[in-house]
Amino acid sequence: MEPIALDEALASFTDRWSPRIVTAVNDYDVRVAKAEGEHVWHTHDHTDEFFLVVEGELHIALREAGGERTVVLPRGSLFTVPRGTEHKPYAPVPTAILLFEPTGTLTVGDRHDDVPAHVDSTTGHALG
């Protein structure tokens, strides 16, 4: 049990859309990821998804009952996508994010579009 420096954790890998698990809180993973470009439309049927932008800027397109909208998260902003909401993250510039998700949650959700090669379909990788 030692403190974890987010900048050092983020410097330990280069892959985009391929989160690393930095610690766990109860039954949740705390993950960091680098993002650039588009992710994939996907839905988490049984869990919310928490995003905190550490560096850069993240856009999250949402498909809701009233139609589509996009939330823009500059550095230091956070947002929770409610369970069951179809969403697609997009980073217009190199971006670093921190996520909270139940351990074992797939990065592409329970339902998703075709996964492009630059998006890692994973439950998270160990840090280091």
Question: Tens of pLDDT along 90-118?
Answer: 999 999 999 999 999 989 888 888 888 88
Please give the Cα distance from 125 to 88 (Å, whole number).
21
CATH number of 23-126: 2.60.120.10
Sign of the Cα torsion 8, 106, 116, 68 reads negative
Question: So where are the chain's domains?
Answer: 23-126
Q: Is 3 exposed, middle or buried, given 0-12, 13-18 or 19+ CB atoms closer than 10 A?
A: exposed
Question: Tens of pLDDT along 1-51?
Answer: 789 999 999 999 999 999 999 999 999 999 999 999 999 999 999 999 999
φ, ψ (nearest 5 deg) of residue 78: -135, 160
